[in-house]
Amino acid sequence: MSGNTLKRIGDYEVIRELGHGGMGEVYLVRNVLSDRTEAMKVLLPSLAGRSEFVARFMREIKVLASLEHPNIAALRTAFTADDQFVMIMEYVEGTTLAERLERGPFSTGDALNYTGQVLAALSYAHGKHVIHRDIKPGNMMLTPQGVVKLMDFGLARSADEVGLTMTGMTLGSLDYASPEQVQSQPTDERSDLYSVGVSLYQMVTGQRMFSVTSSFSIMEAQIKQIPRPPIDVLPTVPRPLNDVIMRAVSKDPAQRFQTADAFREALSQLSAAPEQPANQQAPVTEFVTPQRTFDPGFTVPDTNASGSSSNPNLLLMLVAVLVAALLAGAAIYKSRQHGPQEVVASSNPQVSTPTSAGDSSNAQSHDATPPQASPTPAVTETQPTEANPASPSPKQPAVMARKAQPASQNLSPAPAVPAEDLQAQQQAALEHKQQLDAMETEIDQLDSRAASADSSIDTLEQQLHQSGLGLRGDVVASRSNMHTDITKAKQAMEASDTERARRYIDMAHHELEHLEAFLGRR
C-alpha cells in the first residue's frame, strides 16, 4: 500500500501520500469519472483481521455519514476494494492549528474566531448525539479562507452507545483529555468542551496548560492540579476571556459550560480583542505546506535494519548441489571413455567425495546426488562390501563392472543449467537471505524497544496504583497484542515465511508505537 506501489483503487487514481502510520494511510486522489480531487483513508491490510481496528474504522465511517456541517470535513463515500476498507473524504487544503501554534500564540480575535467555529461544529455533532472525544489543535484544520474544519472522528461515538465508554481518547492526547477520560469514566458532551477549553488556553498563551511531560504527571495534573490562569502566563489576555477559559477547564463537569452553544455564546459576548502587543504575531494570512487533509494521528518510525549471518546459508547449499550434479555427469562421461575397470573404481564406497563448498553434509543431504568421481588414478581391484561381498576377479572386468555398480547404468548426465537461470537462482536465494537477515535485526530492535516500554509501564502502573488509579484497558490490550505479534513474527522467521513475518512485525510496530506515544516518547 505504501510507497509507489499504490496507483489506483476502484475509480480513484492516487496522486500522492498525505500521511501514514501504524493504523492506516491517507492519500490525495482523483476520481477518474468526476475528475474531483479528494482524500482517501485506507485501513492497513495487516489490521483488517483485527476486530477492534475494523470496528473503529467502520464507526468513523458511520459517524461521518450522519454529519453534514460546514465546519466538519465531509465523508463522500466508503467501500471495500481487494479486501481493503476505504473511505473517501473531502480534501481540505490548509494547515492544522497545531502547526500554526508552532509560530506562537494567536491574536485574541483569531483565537475567538477559530474556537467559535469548532464549537459550532460540536453543537451540531452533539445535537446528533455524537461525541468527538479527541478534540485538540491537531484535529482542527484551517483553510486559506479562514474556515476551520474539525477532523478525525475515529474515536467518536454516539452518546447512547454501550461498551465504548472505557476507551475515551487517543493515546498521546493526554494534554487535552478531560479528568473523566483520564480516569476511564463515562464521558459526555462536556468532556469535548473541556478539550476545547484546553485548546483555547494554548491558542491565547502559546503554551500547554500543564508543563509536565511524563504520562503519569499529565494524568495526575488533569485530575488534581488547578491550571495556572492564562492571564498569569500572558498578561495581555483579556480578563473576561481568562475567566471563560478557567470555567471551561473545571475539573467538575457540572462547573463547566453545559453545552457548546453556551460556551460559544460566552465567547461572542466578549469585548473586541485589544490591540496586539509587539511580541505577538499578526493573524495568519499565509499557510505553510497546504497538503494535509487531516492529521492521521500516528507516524511510523523508520527502521534501517542491517544484515545478519545467523540464518542457514541457502546460497552455498544451492551452489553445492548444482556443482555436485555437474561433476557427477562429468564422472559418468569419463567412465565411458576409460573402460570398465575405472567404473568399478568410481563405485567404491570407500573413495572420499570432496565438495567444492567445503561442507560434505550439505551435498549428502540430497539423495538424488551421486558421489563425485575420484580425481586419483583408477583402481583395478575393489574391496568387499555388503552389496559385493566377494572381491571380483581381474579376469572378468565386464562382470565386475555390472555387479559392482548396477545403479550407475541408470544414471545420465545432468542437464546443463543456463547461465542466466543459475544467476537468477543465486540472486533470488541471496535476496531471500538478506530479507530474513533484515527482519531478524528488526525483530531484535523490537524486542529491545518492547523491553524498555514494559519497564516504563510497570513503573507507571505502580505510581497509578499508589494514587488509586489504574492502567486503561486499551493500554493493557496494546501491550498484550505487542508481545503476541512479536512471538508470531519470530515463529514465521523460523519457518522462513517472510510474508507472514512482515505482517506480524508491522502489527507489533503499531502496538509499540501506541505504547510509546502513551509514555510520551513520540
Residue 322: phi, psi to the nearest 5? -65, -40
Contacts of 426 (CB under 8 A, 6+ apart): 315, 318, 319
Q: Which helix (H) or strand (E) holds 28?
A: strand 24-31
CB 198 within 8 A of CB 176: yes
Rounded Cα distance between 28 and 39, Å, is 5
Contacts of 242 (CB under 8 A, 6+ apart): 229, 230, 231
Residue 438: exposure state from Cβ atoms within 10 A (0-12, 13-18, ≥19): middle
Residue 219: exposure state from Cβ atoms within 10 A (0-12, 13-18, ≥19): buried
211's grid cell? 508543563
DSSP code, position 129: T
Which residues does the annotation mark as catalytic? 134
Exposure string over 328-362, b if 16+ CB within 10 A, otherwise e: bbebbeebeeeebbbbbbbbbeeeebebebeeeeb
Q: Is 383 helix (H, G, I), strand (E, B) or coil?
A: coil
CA distances (Å), 421 to each of 373, 407, 427, in order? 26, 30, 10
Rounded Cα distance between 217 and 212, Å, is 6
Rounded Cα distance between 468 and 459, Å, is 15
Q: What is the 3-state secondary structure (H, E, C) of 156-207?
A: CEECCCCCCCCCCCCCCCHHHCCHHHHCCCCCCHHHHHHHHHHHHHHHHHCC
Q: Is 441 helix (H, G, I), strand (E, B) or coil?
A: helix
351's grid cell? 573413495
